[in-house]
């Protein structure tokens, strides 16, 4: 049985499973992260490949018996868990370290669609993408309902309805998803009620092997969705409308192999821009792309984050006239990304004036508010809006990382706070970021893991 202790340390069974599939993975030592604030971040912080792109790209390797190589893969826990899931399904993987990050070559010529580890599935939301890929390639899939961050309902109704429209028979029984398509999938005209990233990716993975034409209307157009479509096209899929809200997929063609570089992580980029400004530092962020921020880019400028693109990367620092309160509303791309909401709130807690942060994507994504308050942030929640009144200083305190992006927000607050901040719940940090604490230490942060909680 694969499990984590309540302290966030890894049992031998889980560590062994992950090392077998992702030999580069090492669980971070220490039960808590200690951050001593007041030191500006100065130097070069390399932006990793996007976690939210790497996961569906790895699943895409199940669609072909040929080799798929991904470069610029981030070395985080979610990637390691998915690697273990894919290995259990019969996918062989060869990892290598390159100057531009990890690379993995995958071979799925001998799939075992019934061999899914329920404990691993419970660790990550992206495991639901196995449903579309396995149905398309093998005509069957059986997996537990996926896990992940507790930030909202995020039902898989859109995924299931779309796959049923493509000819799949799907039943939910005792927390399991039982799906079959013995005669194969066929094309369908699908209208998503909302532009769900996961549903768009799942249906696209299924549609590239389904017979006939599939149209996905009101599709999500996040850069990570476009990155998956670009990789599938390199494998031989016929996809029109990449990057738009309508995807047209001509399926039924066998896919080949491909070599693809994962796009840079826009969420890590935006998070580090906030960290540089909050600490009054100056960072060079190689591989960062301002354009990928969408609506966040002009809002960051309005909040007092100066960003300048150079040949070496994007330079980010606090504007000369300081941080200013702004109003933001999260939404599907190119609106302000929900994954940047928590890190940005940590920055706005220090900005002059008031800010209003409205969350429209996930109904439980203010769990970090109570933790930021422990450090002295002045934040009140009214419905789905957080009202932030900037304070002159934050004070270090003990707090808990409640999800992946909350972990980043609390680190930002700790970097800017007086005194010492001690964070637990580090599994969330490991899940979403590739060596964030170590990379921050390299640019001047006083940050390290510790085995003592107080």
Q: What pLDDT shows up at residue 376?
A: 98
**Residue 10 above 60 pLDDT?**
no
Beta pairing partners, 213? 250
* 372 Cα distance to chain centroid: 22
Q: What pLDDT shows up at residue 126?
A: 75
Distance CA 14, CA 16 (A): 5
List, for residues 413-452, the tens digit of each pLDDT value: 999 999 999 999 999 999 999 999 999 999 999 999 998 7
Q: What are the phi and psi torsion angles at 285 (to 5°)?
A: -115, 90
Report CA-CA distances (Å) from 402 to 342, 427, 428, 451: 11, 10, 7, 19
Give the residue from 422, 382, 378, 373 showing the smallest Cα distance to 400: 422
Q: What pLDDT shows up at residue 2?
A: 29
3-state secondary structure of 387: strand
Give the residue from 312, 315, 311, 245 showing the smallest Cα distance to 273: 315
Q: What would the two tokens of residue 449 be?
A: 């893991």
Element holding 345 (H helix, E strand): helix 341-348
**Residue 149 above 50 pLDDT?**
no
Give me the mean pLDDT over the 278-304 stretch.
97
Q: How confident is the model at residue 5 (pLDDT cuts 50, 70, 90)?
A: very low
List, for residues 358-407, the tens digit of each pLDDT value: 999 877 779 999 999 999 999 999 999 999 999 999 999 999 999 999 99
Q: What pLDDT shows up at residue 148?
A: 44
Q: What would the two tokens of residue 48 be?
A: 């990793």
- What is the side-by-side order of every strand in the sheet holding 446-450? 398-400, 420-424, 32-36, 446-450
* 421 Cα distance to chain centroid: 25
List, for residues 183-233, the tens digit of each pLDDT value: 999 999 999 999 999 999 999 999 999 999 999 999 999 999 999 999 999
List, for residues 221-263, the tens digit of each pLDDT value: 999 999 999 999 999 999 999 999 999 999 999 999 999 999 9
List, for residues 17-75, the tens digit of each pLDDT value: 888 999 999 877 788 999 999 999 999 999 999 999 999 999 999 999 999 999 999 99
| DSSP notation for 418-435 | BSEEEEE-HHHHHHH-SS
- What's the count of helices (H) and strands (E) in the chain, helices before strands? 15, 23
Least confidently predicted of 7-21, 80-94, 185-199: 7-21
Cβ partners under 8 Å of residue 200, min gap 6: 192, 216, 219, 220, 225, 247
**Residue 8 above 80 pLDDT?**
no
- Domains of the chain and any CATH numbers: 31-48+264-450 (3.65.10.10), 51-261 (3.65.10.10)
Give me the mean pLDDT over the 301-317 stretch.
97
Distance CA 118, CA 151 (A): 21
Q: What pLDDT shows up at residue 6?
A: 33
* 282 Cα distance to chain centroid: 25
Element holding 371 (H helix, E strand): helix 367-374
Q: What pLDDT shows up at residue 146?
A: 73
- What is the side-by-side order of every strand in the sheet holding 92-98? 92-98, 101-107, 68-73, 258-261
Q: What pLDDT shows up at residue 121?
A: 77
Distance CA 353, CA 95 (A): 49
**In this structure, what is the dihedral angle of CA atoms 386, 391, 396, 400, given to the nearest 10 degrees?**
0
User: Do the beta carbons of residue 33 and residue 446 sit within 8 Å?
Assistant: no
Distance CA 335, CA 274 (A): 18
* 102 Cα distance to chain centroid: 17
End-to-end Cα separation, the chain, in angstroms: 31
Q: How confident is the model at residue 175 (pLDDT cuts 50, 70, 90)?
A: confident
Note the pTM of the prediction, 2 decimals: 0.93
Q: What pLDDT shows up at residue 170?
A: 93
| DSSP notation for 74-132 | --SHHHHHHHHHHHHTT-EEEEEEETTEEEEEEE-SS--TT---HHHHTT-GGGGHHHH
Q: Which residue has the tokens 């706070």?
A: 417
**In this structure, what is the dihedral angle of CA atoms 430, 431, 433, 438, given to the nearest 10 degrees?**
10
């Amino acid at each position: 049985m694969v499990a984590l202790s309540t302290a966030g340390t890894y049992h031998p069974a889980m560590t062994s499973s992950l090392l077998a599939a992702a030999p580069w993975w090492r669980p971070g030592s220490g039960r808590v992260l200690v951050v001593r604030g007041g030191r500006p971040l100065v130097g070069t912080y390399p932006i990793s490949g996007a976690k939210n792109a790497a996961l569906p790209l790895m699943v895409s390797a199940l669609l072909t018996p040929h080799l798929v190589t991904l470069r610029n893969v981030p070395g985080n826990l979610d990637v390691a868990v998915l690697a273990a899931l894919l290995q259990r399904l019969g996918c062989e993987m060869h990892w290598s370290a390159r100057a531009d990050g990890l690379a993995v070559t995958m071979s799925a010529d001998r799939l075992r669609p019934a061999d899914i580890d329920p404990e691993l599935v419970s660790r990550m939301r992206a495991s639901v993408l196995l449903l579309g890929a396995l149905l398309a390639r093998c005509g069957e899939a059986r997996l537990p309902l996926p896990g992940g961050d507790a930030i909202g309902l995020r039902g898989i109704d859109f995924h299931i309805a779309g796959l049923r429209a493509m000819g799949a028979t799907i039943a939910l029984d005792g927390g399991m998803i039982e799906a079959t398509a013995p005669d194969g999938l066929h094309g369908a005209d699908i209208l998503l009620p909302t532009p769900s990233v996961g549903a768009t990716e799942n249906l696209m993975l299924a549609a590239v092997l389904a017979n006939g034409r599939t149209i996905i209307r009101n599709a999500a157009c996040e850069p990570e969705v476009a990155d998956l479509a670009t990789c599938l096209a390199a494998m031989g899929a016929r996809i029109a409308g990449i990057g738009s809200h309508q995807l047209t997929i001509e399926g039924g063609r066998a896919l080949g192999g491909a070599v693809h570089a994962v796009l840079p992580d826009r969420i890590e980029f935006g998070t580090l821009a906030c960290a540089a400004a909050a600490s009054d530092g100056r960072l060079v962020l190689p591989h960062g792309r301002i354009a990928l921020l969408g609506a966040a880019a002009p809002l960051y400028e309005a909040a007092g984050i100066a960003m300048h693109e150079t040949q070496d990367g994007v330079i980010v620092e606090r504007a000369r006239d300081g941080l200013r309160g702004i109003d933001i509303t999260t939404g599907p791309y190119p609106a302000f990304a929900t994954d940047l909401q928590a890190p940005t709130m940590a920055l706005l807690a220090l900005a002059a004036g008031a800010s209003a942060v409205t969350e429209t994507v996930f109904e439980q994504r203010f769990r970090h508010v109570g933790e930021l308050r422990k450090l002295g942030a002045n934040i009140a929640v009214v419905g789905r809006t957080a009202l932030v009144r900037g304070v002159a200083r934050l004070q270090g305190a003990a707090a808990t990382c409640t999800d992946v992006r909350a972990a980043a927000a609390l680190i930002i607050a700790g970097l800017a706070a007086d005194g010492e901040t001690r964070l637990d719940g580090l599994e969330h940090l490991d899940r979403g970021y590739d060596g964030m604490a170590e990379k921050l230490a390299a640019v001047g942060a006083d940050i390290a893991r510790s085995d003592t909680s107080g």
